[in-house]
Amino acid sequence: MTKQYPDWATTPLMQEYYDQKWGFPVHDERELFKMLTLETFQAGLSWATIWQRQAAFEAAFANFNVATIARFDETKVAELMANPDIIRNRRKIEATINNARVLLSYHRVGKTLDHFLWSFVNGQPIEMNAGHDTVLPASTPLSTEISRQLKRAGFKFVGPTTVFSLLCAVGIVNGRLS
């Protein structure tokens, strides 16, 4: 029997991502920030476009070290804008730096992105029970509420669609084929 993949996993790279990463619960703070950043850059683009550049994003964004990114200045923004290996969108770059600063302020008072995100589901993934023909929604009331709370905290580029994509990617919402 041939393994079933969602419609977006059409290449070996995307099938590997689905097999090894997508939808599995993530609690690692760096990995959560990485996925938030990559989902931010995905807005308006395909996930395949972003994922095939994830190593370049890691290099460009200091392996997603929040403290390092929080110190990025206008010179670093100009350097990133000149980097042909990533998506060169000033608003998304500036949002990533802003989000690192907000998250760093969280860390300084003992809060984490992990606790924040998982608290909305009491630490347990929401099961979508997706079948092969299931089309996941662009957003949900949950992603809308988390988006609102992230924006209230000062995060940027975290609309309901971006947040829903993040929730699925890090396993808070389990949209894997059943």
Quick one: tokens of 76?
């670093």
| H-only helix segments in 82-159 | 90-108, 113-119, 141-153
Q: Are 107 and 66 in contact (CB under 8 A)?
A: yes
Whole-angstrom distance, CA of residue 138 vs CA of residue 43: 12
Which member of 17, 22, 51, 106 is catalytic? 17
User: Is-catalytic flag, 17?
Assistant: yes
User: Which residues make beta-bridge pairs with 174?
Assistant: 127
Which member of 29, 47, 58, 94 is catalytic? 47
Rounded to 5°, the CA angle 147-152-80 comes to 75
Roughly how many angstroms between the first and final C-alpha of the chain, as a whole number? Answer: 15
User: Is-catalytic flag, 8?
Assistant: no
User: Is-catalytic flag, 47?
Assistant: yes
Whole-angstrom distance, CA of residue 34 vs CA of residue 63: 8
Which member of 39, 51, 106, 118 is catalytic? 39
- Catalytic positions, written as ranges: 17, 39, 47
